[in-house]
Every structure is written in structure tokens, then in C-alpha cells.
């Protein structure tokens, strides 16, 4: 599980530590910093996938740093993982970005510590290579050949496993995600990781349908349970044009002419859950020819981050959706467990969560974001009589627009 | 340095109104509502939860912040004043300022010269009037403006100049109470 996040000088998060649960729901007013948290997790993930230079270029270096000039000019990310490695303690993954003023070029440092042992000096900053390496700038930066001690070998294994997890076990859906029902044969997209806008959902569903029918059947079961009007989804590909289209058979055994926004968004959320069950070929990254490729253990959780999952959905469906999420988090059927991070503004949706799963995001007068737990008094004094969403609206623990 | 007033209210709109009045009077202070939970019940709901609301609102206080309770006196509709008495008693016990509005907080709006001018009315004291909210709504309708209950409230707040205390005794008393509060010092 991703156990803790720490951001320093990242946008509105000046120095914020956030404990995560198997399900974590961020609530807060508009512009409180919820998206900055989600983007921060994605930035860390993408730094392992695409290379820092292209990533910083895409975000824009001004959009990475705090709202106000930073004294030491260092943007810091520290993520603590637990239970990723059966015989390891907590693993802390660190990325520091040092900007010279607010201009390129910047320098970076990475680090990893396990059980309190640091494997790299985080205070040593490297110049960022001036070429964009599509295979991952960070990956290139590590040079294992220089180190032959047992410690470095261990670190290499941990690091590779961490990168595989970031790359293949993290799914993001942002606030305005809306999957395309139909894509042309010319379009491409990842089969395993759903893009933030869910555009490529149909590719992943087609793979499930054609190659992993048991996963697709489970997907259909969940869709039927959540959305009573849905009977079965089918992906149809035109063999001439290669266009692909999602078809939905409804309860009255007819093909739906249109699919509502809420239904499509629910399909996208279900796809992120099920896509993590598709066995995927792993890269042979840094694996000597005489060794087996490192694989992600089956028990490794997948992380799913969804902004505003409640948008365009009926409250009754939301309640069932939360029930479904709990089933995947608790992992009763032996599938890979999931960790879920959500953001919401919706008090009705909030009613379905436990106070200990909720984090309150607020922005102070100074423009900086704070993140806190729901105070104990809510459970002790209010929840016997009122639902959590109702207590939230009192403004007793903040995170509202009032 | 001013702090935050956590204003315990029946409804978030009451807090909005106070914010607009203070802003019109150029009193620089943040007002955040603590709203009685549940959807119905008004003053009875507020009085039944007042002790819990005060106790838990205190957990939010930082230096220079303060808590006050604003409630409608409802002297015409509730002659026994059961709920109001309970609120006063709790406020005294917790040493919290309590602000009764006669008979609803909208009486302070009716006494405002900006609103009166905008709605072609004469400025006077409305503290003893029944249902000032309904009176305000009638004024708006007579001037072909949107109803106070459906979109007109925002226009009313924009026209406030914050001088209702010249006529309204209850507003004057409320401002005096707030001026003495730690969050405005």
C-alpha cells in the first residue's frame, strides 16, 4: 500500500504529510488543493515512466513550484510504501527537484530508503540531462554497475520493483474523464493503464473481451449489479476500418442507441479496477540474461485515483459503487487488492465512507494547503444522529466552501 | 490582527448576510458559519444541538478567533421563547456571545438605507415587525425584482450599505457585541 505522501513546495502544498488508508477520500472546497495532491502522485508516477525533462516541460516549471518563491528552491516528494515487498520494511521513495531560481536547467536528486537505511545520498544533486530520454530519465540516471555490494544489489531489486509498480499498478481518472464510446482504427492507446481522461477505455475492454473472458465476465457482472439497465457490454471492431465501438445491451434485450455520461464514467471506473487483473508482460529492465524477469507479486495492490467519481451518477448507484470498491479493497475473491484514492464535493457520497477514511483539504489565508483527519468528536458526538456528509456541511471540521 | 468569527447559525444564508453587512461597514474580519445539522427545524434544531456545536466549534479556534451564536428571536411566532432561552443559557455557560435578531436577521436589511433606496422604501426600524423576510420579498416583488427566496437575495446583499444600525436597535446591539470580540481587536 502507498502509506504516506509528503509534498514540499509542490504547488499549494508547502510542507504537507498525508497518511493514506486502503480507501482515502479527500474533501475540500474548490481550489483547496485536492487536485494538486492527485497531480503530485501522478507526477511521481510519470517521472518513472517518461523522464523528468519532458514531464517538467509538460507541467511547466512554474506550475510545479509553490505559489510563492521558495527559499531553498527544492520541490520534494517522499512516498512511503508498505507491504510491497514481503520481507522488507517500509520503503521511502524520494524525488527532489532543485530549480535555479525559476528557470531551466534544474537539478534533481533521488533516493530510496528501506527500514531506515538510505541507499543514496539525497543531498547530492545531479544535472538533468539535456536530452529527453523516452525510456525514462530517472531509470537512466541510476548506474548500478558502479556498485557491487550486497546492499546495492538489494537496492536495485527494490528500485526496479518500485518502478514496475508505478508504471503498471497506478490508474488515474481526473475530474472531467469521459471515455470515448467509439474510436477510429487510426487511434492508439495503452491496453492496461487507462488514460486520465479515460479515452482509451475501449482498448482495455477489447483486450479483456478477446483474451481474458473471465475478467470481462466479472466486469459485466459488476456493471449489471451497479447499473440495473445494463445487461451486457460488447466491443465490436470493424474489420475493414479497424474502428472499435462499445455496444451496450440493455435489460429489454435491445442495443442502447445512446449511453449516458454517468454510465460511460461508471464503465471507465470499473475498467480501472478490472484492468489491473490483466496479466501483462513485464519489461526486462536491468535484468541480467541469466536471471528471470522481476515480476510484480500477485498480492501487490493496485492504486486507483479518481477525481469526482460521483459526477453524473445517481446517489443509489454511488452507494453500490462504494460497496463494490470495498469488495476490491478487501480482496475476498483472491484478486489483486486495490487501494483507492478519491476526491469529492458531494456530502451524499461522503455518507458512504468512514470518518477515518476521509481527509479534509483546506487552503489557508496564506494560500497554502493543509490536510487533516476528521476530528474524533465527529464520531463521538455526531454520527449517532447524523450522517458524515451532514456533519461536514455544519463546517465544524472545515473543507467546505462556506 | 483580526481573526475568524465562527458564527453558529441555523442556516448558511444568515452568515452570508452578516458577512455582507460587515463588508459594507468596512469591518475586515473573516466570518465562517457553523451550521446546525439536518434539513428542517430551524431554531428548535439549533437549540437542541447548541452545546455540541459550541463545544466542537471551540476545537477550530486559533489565536484571535472567536465564536458567536446568531439566532432569530422569533418573538412573535414563539412567545414562550423556549428555544431562545436554551440558547442564551448555553451561551452563558460556555462564555460565548449570543446575538438575537429581532424578529429575523432580515430586519437589519429592511433598515438599510441602500436597500431602502434601491427598493423605494423609507428607512426605519423593523425590529418589531413580523416576518421581515416576507416583507423584503414583497418589496422585491413590488419592484419587479426576483423573489428573495429565488435569486433575489444576492441582489439585496449587493445593495447593502451596512447602516441599518442607525434605526435597528437589535443590529446596533449585535455590532457592539462583535466589536468587543477578540477576533476584531
CB distance A151 to A17 below 8 Å = no
d(CA A247, CA A239): 16
d(CA A369, CA A400): 14
**A122: number of CA atoms within 13 Å, CB side?**
17
**Residue A246, CA distances (Å) to A75, A174, A219, A238, A265 in order:** 42, 21, 14, 12, 13
**A285: number of CA atoms within 13 Å, CB side?**
26
- Other beta carbons within 10 angstroms of residue B135's beta carbon come to 19
List CB contacts (< 8 A) between B56 and chain A.
375, 377-378, 381-382, 396
Asked if B56 lies within 8 A of A390 by C-beta distance, the reply is: no
Q: What is the pTM of this model?
A: 0.87
List CB contacts (< 8 A) between B52 and chain A.
381-382
User: Would you list which residues of chain B are within 8 Å, Cβ to Cβ, of chain A?
Assistant: 12, 15, 30, 32-38, 52-53, 55-57, 59-60
CB distance A329 to A337 below 8 Å = yes
Domain map (residue ranges) of chain B: 4-184
CB distance B93 to B116 below 8 Å = no
Q: What is the largest CA-CA distance in chain B?
A: 47
Nearest neighbour of B37 by CB, restricted to A377, A393, A402: A393
- Supply the ipTM of this predicted assembly: 0.84
3-state secondary structure of A310: coil
d(CA B160, CA A153): 72
Nearest neighbour of B56 by CB, restricted to A377, A385, A393: A377
The rounded Cα B50 to chain-centroid distance in angstroms is 16
pLDDT one digit per residue (tens) for chain A, 402 residues = 899 999 999 999 999 999 999 999 999 999 999 999 999 999 999 988 877 777 887 887 777 877 666 666 788 999 998 865 434 678 888 888 887 665 555 677 777 776 666 655 666 666 665 444 434 444 333 333 343 445 556 666 777 778 878 888 899 999 899 999 999 989 999 898 999 999 999 999 999 999 999 999 999 999 999 998 999 999 999 999 999 999 999 987 888 989 999 999 999 999 999 998 887 766 545 556 666 555 555 567 789 999 999 999 988 899 999 999 998 888 766 666 889 999 999 999 999 999 999 999 999 888 899 999 999 999 999 999 999 999 999 999 988 887
| C-alpha closest to that of A285 among A160, A167, A149, A173 | A160
Cis peptide before A40 (omega within 30 of 0): no
Q: Which of A351, A360, A394 to mutate to test the interface with B (most CBs of B within 10 A)?
A: A394
Q: By 3-state DSSP, what share of chain B in percent is helix, strand and coil, each rounded to 5?
A: 50, 15, 35
d(CA A10, CA A232): 44
| C-alpha closest to that of B108 among B150, B147, B156 | B156
Structure-block grid coordinates of residue A138 = 530517472
Measured at the CA of A285, the angle between CA A159 and CA A195, to 5 degrees, comes to 85
Query: Exposed, middle or buried, B39 (CB in 10 Å: 0-12/13-18/19+)?
Result: exposed
Amino acid at each position: 500500500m502507498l502509506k504516506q505522501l509528503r509534498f514540499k513546495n509542490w504547488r499549494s502544498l508547502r510542507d504537507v504529510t498525508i497518511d493514506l488508508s486502503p480507501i482515502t477520500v479527500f474533501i475540500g472546497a474548490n481550489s483547496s488543493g485536492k487536485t494538486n495532491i492527485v497531480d503530485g502522485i501522478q507526477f511521481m508516477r510519470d517521472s518513472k515512466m517518461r523522464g523528468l525533462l519532458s514531464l517538467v516541460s509538460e507541467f511547466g516549471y512554474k506550475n510545479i513550484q509553490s505559489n510563492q518563491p521558495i527559499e531553498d528552491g527544492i520541490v520534494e516528494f517522499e512516498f512511503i510504501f508498505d507491504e510491497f515487498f514481503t520481507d522488507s520494511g517500509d520503503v521511502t521513495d524520494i524525488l527532489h527537484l532543485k530549480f535555479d531560481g525559476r528557470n531551466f536547467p534544474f537539478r534533481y536528486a533521488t533516493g530510496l530508503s528501506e527500514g531506515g537505511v538510505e541507499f543514496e545520498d539525497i543531498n547530492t544533486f545531479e544535472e538533468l540531462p539535456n536530452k529527453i530520454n523516452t525510456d525514462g530519465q530517472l531509470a537512466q540516471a541510476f548506474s548500478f554497475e558502479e556498485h557491487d555490494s550486497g546492499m546495492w544489489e538489494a537496492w536495485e531489486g527494490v528500485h526496479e520493483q518500485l518502478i514496475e509498480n508505478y508504471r503498471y499498478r497506478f490508474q488515474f481518472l481526473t475530474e472531467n474523464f469521459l471515455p470515448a464510446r467509439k474510436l477510429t482504427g487510426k487511434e492508439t492507446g495503452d491496453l492496461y493503464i487507462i488514460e486520465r481522461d479515460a479515452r482509451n477505455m475501449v482498448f482495455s475492454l477489447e483486450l479483456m473481451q478477446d483474451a481474458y473472458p473471465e475478467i470481462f465476465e466479472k466486469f459485466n457482472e459488476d456493471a449489471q449489479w451497479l447499473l440495473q439497465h445494463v445487461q451486457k457490454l460488447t466491443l465490436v471492431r470493424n474489420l475493414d476500418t479497424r474502428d472499435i465501438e462499445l455496444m451496450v445491451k440493455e435489460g429489454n434485450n435491445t442495443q442502447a442507441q445512446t449511453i449516458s455520461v454517468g454510465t460511460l464514467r461508471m464503465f471507465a471506473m470499473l475498467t480501472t479496477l478490472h484492468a489491473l487483473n490483466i496479466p501483462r508482460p513485464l519489461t526486462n529492465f536491468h535484468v541480467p540474461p541469466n536471471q528471470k524477469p522481476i515480476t510484480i507479486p500477485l498480492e501487490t495492490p493496485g492504486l486507483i485515483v479518481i477525481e469526482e467519481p460521483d459526477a453524473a451518477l445517481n446517489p443509489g448507484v454511488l452507494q453500490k459503487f462504494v460497496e463494490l470498491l470495498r469488495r476490491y479493497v478487501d480482496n475476498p475473491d483472491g484478486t489483486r487488492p486495490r487501494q483507492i484514492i478519491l476526491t469529492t464535493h458531494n456530502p451524499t457520497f461522503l455518507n458512504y465512507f468512514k470518518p477515518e477514511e476521509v481527509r479534509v483539504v483546506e487552503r489557508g489565508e496564506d494560500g497554502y494547503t493543509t490536510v487533516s483527519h476528521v476530528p474524533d468528536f465527529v464520531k463521538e458526538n455526531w454520527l449517532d444522529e447524523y450522517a458524515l456528509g451532514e456533519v461536514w456541511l455544519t463546517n465544524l471540521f472545515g473543507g467546505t466552501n462556506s | 490582527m483580526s481573526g475568524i468569527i465562527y458564527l453558529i447559525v441555523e442556516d448558511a444564508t444568515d452568515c452570508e448576510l452578516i458577512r455582507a453587512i460587515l463588508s459594507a461597514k468596512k469591518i475586515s474580519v473573516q466570518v465562517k458559519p457553523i451550521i446546525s445539522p439536518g434539513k428542517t427545524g430551524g431554531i428548535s434544531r439549533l437549540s437542541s444541538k447548541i452545546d455540541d456545536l459550541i463545544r466542537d466549534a471551540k476545537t477550530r479556534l486559533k489565536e484571535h478567533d472567536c465564536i458567536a451564536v446568531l439566532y432569530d428571536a422569533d418573538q412573535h411566532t414563539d412567545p414562550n421563547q423556549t428555544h431562545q432561552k436554551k440558547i442564551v443559557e448555553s451561551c452563558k455557560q460556555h462564555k460565548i456571545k449570543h446575538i438575537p435578531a429581532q424578529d429575523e436577521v432580515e430586519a437589519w436589511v429592511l433598515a438599510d438605507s441602500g436597500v431602502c433606496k434601491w427598493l423605494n422604501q423609507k428607512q426605519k426600524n423593523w425590529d418589531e415587525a413580523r416576518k421581515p423576510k416576507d416583507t423584503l420579498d414583497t418589496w422585491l416583488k413590488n419592484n419587479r425584482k426576483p423573489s428573495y427566496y429565488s435569486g433575489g437575495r444576492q441582489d439585496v446583499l449587493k445593495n447593502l450599505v451596512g447602516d441599518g444600525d442607525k434605526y435597528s436597535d437589535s443590529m446596533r446591539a449585535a455590532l457592539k457585541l462583535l466589536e468587543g470580540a477578540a477576533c476584531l481587536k
